[in-house]
Chains A and B, each alone.
Chain A
Amino acid sequence: MKRIRYLLYLSSKSAWNRRGTLALIVFCIALSTTLLIGIEKLRTQIRENFVQSVSGTDLVVGARGGNIQLMLYAIFHLGGATNNIGWDSARQIAKKPGIAWSIPISLGDSHRGYPVVATTDDFFEHYRFRSGTHLELAQGKRFETLFDVVLGAETARKLDYSIGQKITLSHGSSGNHLTEHGDMPFSVTGILAPTGTPVDRSLYIGLHAMEAIHVNWRGGAPVPGLRITPEQVTRFNLEPKSITAMLVGLQKRSQVFALQRDINEWKAEPLMGVMPGVAMDQIWSTINTGENVLLLVSVLVTVAGLAGLAAAILAGLGERRRELAILRSTGARPLDILLLLTFEGGLLVIAGAISGLLALYGLMLAVKPYLAENYGMFIYLSPPSSSEWSLMAGICLAGFFTSLIPAFRAYRMSLADGLTVSI
């Protein structure tokens, strides 16, 4: 025991003497650790970010079709719906017993490429994301009058809009030649705080406003000669006839299967209820090959780091022949030489892994606000998960075994060389 303590002392002393080179090795291992653990953290957090784009919603209701497709247009506002839900059905569902709240959503228009979502006050009240976080307004207030619009954080930032700005919406969702709803401009009344969800990239207006801007439209185009001013439009019946989708929250979560069954067997029209968590899992499972590739890359980086460790120690052996020979002459056994080098490798790897982890947390802390601000990506500092600990252990273990290679070589050398130092 005393001998081992002494060897540890000796090996740290010797390492300190060569601190320049060894610092580089530690840096190399730290870098691989940062990458490996960082990618693992990012991987799990991207998944959570994605899967929790919507949370607290028990069921998403839309016209019958693919469940993934429904999620894509209702939550991500990608692609279009093949069919709508009649307003009557929507209201009947909303009034069913056991339903706590519902958010109607009407899509179809856009503003400079950003989707316009028509909804009600319930959206601000009940929409939640990332384990139940509520929406918050960064500036201004919710839409109140007919031609008010609330912007998502990214929409406002990218288009450089502020409260009071007048904007017009375009009919349709993509392409360069969209007809403008120029006769009925909206004014920005509020800007939402960043959420890291598709909400950031949208514009929100009232359901009635969506109806109002289409009052003088028939068959997808404005009726020629029929001009209605924003003042006149309020005299029309602005109750929507249909909506695109509806998000539903239940009083008791466990009733979701029963409600889903009811909706899927809806008599009046073909409807479908999709559990958002289930659909998100299904979407994620098809795209997670990407995440495995990421992990593979970081494993390769770690292997490269460890190869560097072995190479550096091996190269160092040449310079240390004399040192090792002196140790031998003062009574060190070949086994001691082996232990000495193994200790050195182990210390380097542990130092590298720990500083890599610390560097990762520092880095995350540093880029966190930047990512949230510019990319709507929310990362959070969490203590290493069990899989991250096992990756850390993996690095240390692999490093330890790698350092056995030069250690074993030195052991052989010290047997062969003995004290006959040849220069």
Chain B
Amino acid sequence: MKKFCSFFIVLGGFFVFGVQTFANEAHVHGVTNMNVTVEGGKVEIELKSPLANFISFEHEPETDAQKKEVRAMGETLRKADSLFLFPVEAGCKLEEVSLESGVIDDHLLNADASGHAPKTHGRHEGRGHADHGHSGKDEHGHADIEVEVSFMCRNPEKLTKLQVNMFSAFPSLHEIEVQMLTPAEQKAAELTPEANTITW
């Protein structure tokens, strides 16, 4: 059995060598990495994605049309409770959304559609701002956006499922590689428009 297993492991290796983790800093359009932490009733979701998955360009918005596009993206992402769905019985409430990109001005990114400046987005103690450099443009002119979302749930024991609706909101996105930390284990998942739910 052991030998049998090892054989398959090696075989498996050939198929999956290309799998990238969050931080190998791969920038593949259409694909994003997502880290999910479930701890008690608190759920934290971190996403670092190429900007191109959400808008049509990867640089500082120049024209009004581009600025409008950024605002629309910000608006969709801030309504994170319609992008990330938990079982109703878990009683989850969106706590905070923070968006950050090296090439887009914070005010524009966090402004609502009417152009108002953001109220708060202060969750970045510690590592937050040190990351600025990384979401900036790389040498090939690519840029990323970092999204951090947190939820608070009243019934942690019902918290066993997460449905991600980002694919319908952002058609350019077609795959999410998830690294997950549940109360019991570490878990991997690959979400696609056809299979957009993680259970644990």
Q: Which residues of A contact B (CB under 8 A)?
A: 46, 50, 58, 64, 66-69, 72, 76, 78-79, 201, 253-254, 256-258, 260-261, 263-265, 272-279, 281-283, 285-287, 290, 375-377
Chain A binding surface SS class: helix
A283 and B181 in contact, given A264-B24, A275-B186, A377-B1 (Cβ under 8 angstroms) = no
The reply to whether B15 and A278 form a contact with Cβ atoms under 8 Å apart is no
Cα-based distance from A78 to B3 in the complex (angstroms): 12
The reply to whether B21 and A272 form a contact with Cβ atoms under 8 Å apart is yes
The reply to whether A275 and B179 form a contact with Cβ atoms under 8 Å apart is yes
Q: Check: B69 CB closer than 8 A to any chain A CB.
A: no
Q: Check: B88 CB closer than 8 A to any chain A CB.
A: no
Q: Which residues between 25 and 84 of chain B lie within 8 Å of chain A, taking CB atoms?
A: 25, 35, 37, 39, 46
Closest Cβ–Cβ distance, residue A386 to chain B (whole Å)? 13
Cα-based distance from A69 to B17 in the complex (angstroms): 7
The reply to whether A264 and B22 form a contact with Cβ atoms under 8 Å apart is yes
**Complex: chain A residue closest to B180, CB-CB:** A278
**Complex: chain B residue closest to A274, CB-CB:** B21
**Complex: chain A residue closest to B11, CB-CB:** A287
Q: Which residues between 4 and 26 of chain B lie within 8 Å of chain A, taking CB atoms?
A: 5-6, 8-13, 15-25
A286 and B181 in contact, given A260-B23, A264-B23 (Cβ under 8 angstroms) = no
Enumerate chain B residues within 8 angstroms of A263, measured Cβ to Cβ. 23
Enumerate chain B residues within 8 angstroms of A287, measured Cβ to Cβ. 8-9, 11-12
Cα-based distance from A257 to B11 in the complex (angstroms): 29
Closest Cβ–Cβ distance, residue A155 to chain B (whole Å)? 12
Cα-based distance from A50 to B8 in the complex (angstroms): 12
Q: Check: B93 CB closer than 8 A to any chain A CB.
A: no
Cα-based distance from A276 to B18 in the complex (angstroms): 17
Cα-based distance from A46 to B177 in the complex (angstroms): 25
Enumerate chain B residues within 8 angstroms of A272, measured Cβ to Cβ. 21, 23-24
The reply to whether A278 and B1 form a contact with Cβ atoms under 8 Å apart is no
Closest Cβ–Cβ distance, residue B200 to chain A (whole Å)? 11
Enumerate chain A residues within 8 angstroms of B35, measured Cβ to Cβ. 257
Say which residue of A68, A258, A376 sits within 8 Å of B19 (CB atoms): A68
Point out which of A72, A261, A276 has the most chain B C-beta atoms below 10 A from its C-beta.
Answer: A261
Cα-based distance from A274 to B22 in the complex (angstroms): 9
Cα-based distance from A279 to B180 in the complex (angstroms): 11
The reply to whether A69 and B2 form a contact with Cβ atoms under 8 Å apart is no
Enumerate chain A residues within 8 angstroms of B5, measured Cβ to Cβ. 46, 50
Q: Check: B127 CB closer than 8 A to any chain A CB.
A: yes
Q: Which residues between 99 and 120 of chain B lie within 8 Å of chain A, taking CB atoms?
A: none
Closest Cβ–Cβ distance, residue B191 to chain A (whole Å)? 13
The reply to whether A69 and B13 form a contact with Cβ atoms under 8 Å apart is yes
Cα-based distance from A300 to B119 in the complex (angstroms): 62
The reply to whether B23 and A273 form a contact with Cβ atoms under 8 Å apart is yes
List 8 tightest A-B contacts by C-beta distance, closest first: A277-B186, A264-B23, A281-B188, A278-B188, A286-B12, A287-B8, A66-B17, A275-B186
Enumerate chain B residues within 8 angstroms of A257, measured Cβ to Cβ. 22, 35, 37, 46, 179, 181
The reply to whether B187 and A281 form a contact with Cβ atoms under 8 Å apart is yes
18 of the cross-chain contacts (CB-CB < 8 Å) are A64-B24, A68-B12, A69-B17, A72-B13, A76-B6, A79-B10, A253-B39, A256-B186, A263-B23, A265-B23, A272-B21, A272-B23, A278-B21, A281-B186, A281-B188, A286-B12, A286-B15, A377-B2
Say which residue of B1, B18, B21, B186 sits within 8 Å of A264 (CB atoms): B21
Closest Cβ–Cβ distance, residue A314 to chain B (whole Å)? 40
Point out which of A67, A273, A274 has the most chain B C-beta atoms below 10 A from its C-beta.
Answer: A67
The reply to whether A78 and B25 form a contact with Cβ atoms under 8 Å apart is no
Q: Check: B185 CB closer than 8 A to any chain A CB.
A: yes
Say which residue of A64, A66, A278 sits within 8 Å of B187 (CB atoms): A278
**Complex: chain B residue closest to A284, CB-CB:** B12
Cα-based distance from A67 to B13 in the complex (angstroms): 10
A261 and B127 in contact, given A78-B9, A272-B21 (Cβ under 8 angstroms) = yes
Enumerate chain B residues within 8 angstroms of A67, measured Cβ to Cβ. 19-21
